[in-house]
Structure 1
């Protein structure tokens, strides 16, 4: 299937062949018939993508500060690589889609195959969308009219916040698509409306919809026009649907309003507010959030939990339904708003139009009617390579058996960490990169083309069942790790799983049972967890320096973890496992490696009086040889401070490691320091050690019992931190 992607790095908008997404629980799989280009949002994305790096930085000063902090702690080169990696990842375009349901996921009862549906799906032949961001299209509404629903819901949500009543006067500043829809919806509410814009053609449309207008291109005065419309009383409310960096729209709105008038910002404008403007009239100002309540709430969107009607009358989905009702009855007319239509294959021309001098308004993308919709559902595609020197699995090799101990890799998962760190590390080994599997397909195609995979798929089971793939790298969401590990071991694969190994005791028990069963059958399974820090060059140096010191060690690990929102998936114990299990396991493993002795007890203390206790915690590990290791895992520090600092006290000597860049030794004969030009946390060496174990037929670089021990200790610490 085809999808429109935007490169934030090169600025190129292109149509890309990607695997069809797989339907997920609580989601709909939709075959697109029509979609609408958002002239405001998508134009800004294209303009940002086409800007040079300096202009990009000027547009996002808050991100520049984060980059500078990272440079100070991690070094210039890793920071620039991280920024470039972020910009390299393609962005799916579009959020106004109309189509037909091809399949429904588990738990979806409100929709059926064959239903005509609108959604916030992107510009793609097939989209997978949460059920609460979909609505059925009434029969009288055409597909291209229905494609305006999501933009209509944005307008409607702004109106709901403004709370207009019959007979009130309202101003709409900015008469783009959302502005002209806002004019019509306000008219339907029985309001008198004044539209303000620079474009005479848009102003003409607003007048046809019943509004009075102010033409800023002719220096007409909006303040006097507003006074005339309101009979000198002042405007009841202003909806700002413009896109400009200027602060003038808000200042102007305040001048127009009556005492205690309402101003709602739907668009994007400058927000340097004047206190005097708002103080004397006691004006209210509010920013409208997208389509309505539920938007950006993971429980509503991803998990399908609706808000009770009696408490939240108008959710995002119910706003969609209201707009569709307006379209069905003719009270909202979007036909005059369509200025251009492009077949999907000519989509790049549509985006060129956004940056041209040619006038435009509503741009509709038309999709070919598939003779057999199932033809779009192919979950696997052959990839064309961006880098010819990169090893890709030849297509004719599908009939050959794998060479013993020659690693042929399948990657399950291609998120930010996988594409920035993990896949490049494995690319440097002798392994062949055959296939990459992701749920949505876009990240898989990006990773596949960039790093030289032969195939991209949205069917992870195809990697498990492929006899040529003898090695699986699992880099998916944490809650899926254990299941994939068991499936991969049972399929006879070598397995590398990114941390954590598991997020619950029953998952870990299942892995142990599977591993032991295979071992008892006479086969030696090879399983490795991505505890990369023990492979870092400075950690290897520390290990060597400590080798001849027979006394117990006191180790202090300070982790400036940084804050993550409470609703982020990593904080969810059922999905991410929480930050102790999901990330702090790294430091448990590191201290276990340096102590070279089993953990015999744990003491945990959490910071009091905070919402999240688990990411502001100290725990001390006691080892069988008498060593102690304390980890301060704290999310309440500042980003400019090094993220990771390790200090070791032993036999009258001290070692201090800052952020895997600067290592200092105190009291060692012949060793003072080991400093690196760039941060090295051992990712490349970790991948190489795993691949070397496969090629040489040796055991895993980390003993199975050791990472099981580390995982169980992480469970104990997490449980103590939560109570």
Structure 2
């Protein structure tokens, strides 16, 4: 058994990270910023397209300063690592520019608009000695690690099927997540969590799954932008996976169910375990409920990123894993009759 959350030590940084943030994004205020503040890392600077917005954001969140633009932030010698929470279409481009500037990079998911763009970004990072990491934060939480432990223990018997749901209520019509040009759609925003989870679990079933079929419901305003998508996948050993993605659901749901011959495993919220840390597994007549701790998954993610930057460990989500996930995203779109999201060529090295 793994240590309980109560007995886990919370790493104290030997040397705090000196961080910059590209974009005055809401997600940064819910993820990296509180994690960095709690850990004692230094929020050096933020930049935004609107300099006034950057100054306001810096004052609100405790940054040392605001920079005039993204390029100025990347030139700052006192910043060693950069977080990129921009719109999806800009993730890979600004991650590449940050690498060129000698910065370690934590990029919001999805790390690129499509697999081709991700391959180009991976080539950019290769041999640089820098950390390029995709922010699938849930994968570093004890809850997800325990899922792997239970699967590996054989307690569920032979696994017969997996269902993964990633669904949220509809954002406003003006939200950039609805824009094809900005690499939007339900799979890009939330379905990528389910597909990454399927990729992660593949270690127990022979490797990366393949997409067998998919069906999408498009927005009336844009037939190429999915408001929901369901996909059937299969692992190399034949185990089936059902994935659902929606940005048009009645409620938020990020659930995982694994059914085996000796019992089932249910995780009500695998993406945000800080909201519900339960893992329920075992036979139907005697299920066991474990609580894996409500420390934020974003905190564990920053601990892992810091350890990778300091050379103490590799980041748990590998570049290969990120690439496989985007290949699944592209394959799901194609199987549903949609094109993968457009992604521009990365700018030349500077």
Give TM class, smaller chain.
0.7 to 0.9
Is 1:533–2:126 an aligned residue pair?
A: no
Q: Matches of 2:249 and 2:123 in 1, distance apart? A: 41
- Number of the residue aligned with 1:75: none
Is 1:493–2:100 an aligned residue pair?
A: no
Is 1:476–2:86 an aligned residue pair?
A: yes
Q: Is the 8 A contact 2:21 2:45 kept in 1?
A: yes
Instruction: Call closer, same or farther: CA 1:439–1:626 in 2, change over 3 Å.
Output: same
Is 1:433–2:60 an aligned residue pair?
A: no
Q: Is the 8 A contact 1:531 1:586 kept in 2?
A: yes
- Number of the residue aligned with 2:325: 710
Q: Matches of 1:669 and 1:609 in 2, distance apart? A: 41
- Aligned partner of residue 31 in structure 2, secondary structure: helix
1:234-293 Cα distance to aligned partner (Å, 9 max, x none): xxxxxxxxxxxxxxxxxxxxxxxxxxxxxxxxxxxxxxxxxxxxxxxxxxxxxxxxxxxx
Q: Matches of 2:30 and 2:268 in 1, distance apart? A: 22
Q: Matches of 1:472 and 1:478 in 2, distance apart? A: 16
Q: Matches of 1:609 and 1:467 in 2, distance apart? A: 45
Q: Matches of 1:514 and 1:677 in 2, distance apart? A: 37
Q: Matches of 1:681 and 1:619 in 2, distance apart? A: 29
Aligned partner of 2:268 among 631, 634, 658: 658
Q: Is the 8 A contact 1:429 1:691 kept in 2?
A: no
The structural deviation recorded for 1:620 is 2.3
- Number of the residue aligned with 1:82: none
- Number of the residue aligned with 1:366: none
Instruction: Call closer, same or farther: CA 1:405–1:717 in 2, change over 3 Å.
Output: farther
The structural deviation recorded for 1:651 is 4.4
Q: Is the 8 A contact 1:419 1:447 kept in 2?
A: no
- Number of the residue aligned with 2:214: 605
- Number of the residue aligned with 2:191: 584
The structural deviation recorded for 1:690 is 0.8
Aligned partner of 1:673 among 289, 294, 300: 289
- Aligned partner of residue 321 in structure 2, secondary structure: helix
Q: Matches of 2:149 and 2:172 in 1, distance apart? A: 39
Is 1:688–2:298 an aligned residue pair?
A: no
Q: Is the 8 A contact 1:406 1:694 kept in 2?
A: no
Q: Is the 8 A contact 1:655 1:663 kept in 2?
A: yes
- Number of the residue aligned with 1:421: 31
For CA contacts below 8 A with separation 6 or more, give which structure has more relative contact order: 2
The structural deviation recorded for 1:530 is 0.5
Is 1:560–2:172 an aligned residue pair?
A: no
- Number of the residue aligned with 1:81: none
- Number of the residue aligned with 1:631: 243
1:468-517 Cα distance to aligned partner (Å, 9 max, x none): 2111111111111111111111222111001111113442232022123x
- Aligned partner of residue 615 in structure 1, secondary structure: strand
- Number of the residue aligned with 1:62: none
Q: Matches of 1:615 and 1:681 in 2, distance apart? A: 28
- Number of the residue aligned with 1:454: 64
- Aligned partner of residue 698 in structure 1, secondary structure: coil
Instruction: Call closer, same or farther: CA 1:720–1:573 in 2, change over 3 Å.
Output: farther
Q: Matches of 1:634 and 1:663 in 2, distance apart? A: 23
* TM-score, normalising length: structure 2: 0.79
Instruction: Call closer, same or farther: CA 1:607–1:575 in 2, change over 3 Å.
Output: closer
The structural deviation recorded for 1:566 is 5.5
Instruction: Call closer, same or farther: CA 1:676–1:444 in 2, change over 3 Å.
Output: farther
Figure out how many residues of one structure are paired with residues of the other and give that number.
312
Q: Matches of 1:669 and 1:458 in 2, distance apart? A: 61
1:133-162 Cα distance to aligned partner (Å, 9 max, x none): xxxxxxxxxxxxxxxxxxxxxxxxxxxxxx
Unaligned regions of 5+ residues in structure 1, if any?
A: 1-403
Instruction: Call closer, same or farther: CA 1:510–1:672 in 2, change over 3 Å.
Output: same
The structural deviation recorded for 1:672 is 0.9
- Aligned partner of residue 467 in structure 1, secondary structure: coil
Unaligned regions of 5+ residues in structure 2, if any?
A: 1-13, 339-350
CA RMSD of aligned residues (A): 2.9
Greater shift after overlay, 613-622 or 467-476? 613-622
Q: Matches of 1:556 and 1:577 in 2, distance apart? A: 24
Q: Matches of 2:77 and 2:86 in 1, distance apart? A: 22
Q: Matches of 2:69 and 2:174 in 1, distance apart? A: 28
- Aligned partner of residue 233 in structure 2, secondary structure: strand
- Number of the residue aligned with 1:621: 233
